[in-house]
Amino acid sequence: MRRYFGRKLLVYGLTFLVAVTVNWMIPRFMPGDPVQSMIARANVSQPAAVEAMRAHYTSLFGFDLPLWKQYANFWAALFRGDLGISVWLFPTPVTDVIVRAVPYTLALLVPAILLSWWAGNRFGAFAARRRWLENTALPVGYVLTATPYMWLAILMAWGLGVVAGIFPVAGGYGFALRPGWSAEFLGSLALHWVLPFLSLFLVAFGGWAIGMRNMIIYELEADYANYLAALGAPRRLIRRYAFRNAVLPQITGLALQLGVLVAGALVTEIVFSYPGLGHLILQAIQNQDFFLLQGTFLFIVVGVLIANFVIDVVYVLVDPRIRTGMGGEAA
């Protein structure tokens, strides 16, 4: 088990290293000049002002130092929690901007991931080998997984928000309210949460249901299932055993799907102008705010790494083969 966690942590550590290095390299080695585009955005014409701005931004990125020193400084700043100053919300530090947005993204993502995984697995296991359900629900599942997250979000916002008028379609809470612990604010928060959550949930649900259905059919054909059936075990019991075996690959699948789910949350937030990380990314891109964009990138990477680790721990709890050092699928 120590070997299992050791390997995992090594991969995550290296991934973080790669992410930070990529983050550092992109502004320096990509075609295009970030300083130039930031100046262009400010729209000043006086040559003296342009020169001053160029000098300012160049020193902000640290472009005037030798490369190795730039790289060392980048890491040093990172460990101080300093990701630079946001250009869009000047002069707020990027870290502050992101920390304010993270709760919204987490509040959408965590319930959507967990509930869709749970419900999708349950439903997929239930639908397997039930002809009428397989013929009706599976095609729907395939359409759902193929749906781009933002499109389902747009359809929901349009159908349930604009046309039916049941839910609000923009923002994280009513525009007239100030964030606080009042009942009115919390109610508005909940109401604004429903549609983004639902559209994330539905797309993910389709994928889990199909995955589980395929896994459980595979398990139901395995020798142990046939043996149980030959012994005269009730179908429910056989299905329960099959389900427990089929869930393991689904846990691995959850780790593999994390990146896609996070991406889905980002575009969903953009559709609903939900004040989470997706909204920040949109603003950062529209305002050429590279520090904010790169800070958000690092936050997402760290979040995904932590989530991966949590899934690894869960896997160990669920799969006894890893605990006893016998290997198993994820080792």
Partner 1 sequence: MNREALHFAVRNGKLLVGLAVLLPLLALALLGPALAEGDPNAYVGTPAQAPSGEYWFGTTMFGQDVFAQFVYGLRVTFLVGLLGGGLAALIGMAVGFTAGYRGGLVDEVLNMLTNIVLVLPALAVLLVVNAYLGVRSVSVQALFIGLTSWPWAARAIRAQTFSLRSRDFVDLARLSGVRTWKIITREIAPNMSSYLFMTFILLFGGSVLIAASLDFIGLGPTQGVSLGLMLNNAARWSALHLGMWWWFIPPGAGITVIVGALYVMNVGLDEVFNPRLREL
Residue 65 phi, psi dihedral angles, 5° rounding: -95, 165
Cβ proximity to partner 1, 19 vs 60, nearer residue? 19
**Minimal distance in Å, beta carbon 190 to partner 1?**
22
Using CB under 8 A as the binding rule, whether residue 245 contacts partner 1 is answered as: no
Region 283-322 residues binding partner 1, contact defined as CB under 8 A: 284-286, 290, 293-294, 296-297, 300-301, 304-305, 308
**Minimal distance in Å, beta carbon 232 to partner 1?**
25
**Minimal distance in Å, beta carbon 300 to partner 1?**
5
**Minimal distance in Å, beta carbon 158 to partner 1?**
5
Which of these, 225, 223, 243, 221, lies nearest to 234 by C-alpha position?
Answer: 225
Using CB under 8 A as the binding rule, whether residue 164 contacts partner 1 is answered as: no
Using CB under 8 A as the binding rule, whether residue 212 contacts partner 1 is answered as: no
Cβ proximity to partner 1, 214 vs 245, nearer residue? 214
Using CB under 8 A as the binding rule, whether residue 271 contacts partner 1 is answered as: yes
One-letter amino acid at 174 equals G
Cβ neighbours for 166, distance < 8 A, ≥ 6 positions apart = 160
Binding mask 116-155 for partner 1 (x = CB under 8 A): -----------------------x--xx-xxxxxxxx-xx
As a whole number of angstroms, the distance between CA 291 and CA 197 comes to 28
Q: Which member of 94, 109, 280, 281 binds partner 1 (CB under 8 A)?
A: 281
Residues binding partner 1: what is the number (CB under 8 A)? 63
As a whole number of angstroms, the distance between CA 14 and CA 283 comes to 30
Residues at the site binding partner 1, with contacts judged by CB under 8 A: 10-12, 14-15, 18-19, 22-23, 26-27, 30-34, 37, 139, 142-143, 145-152, 154-155, 157-158, 161-163, 169, 221, 255-256, 258-260, 262-263, 266-267, 270-271, 281-282, 284-286, 290, 293-294, 296-297, 300-301, 304-305, 308
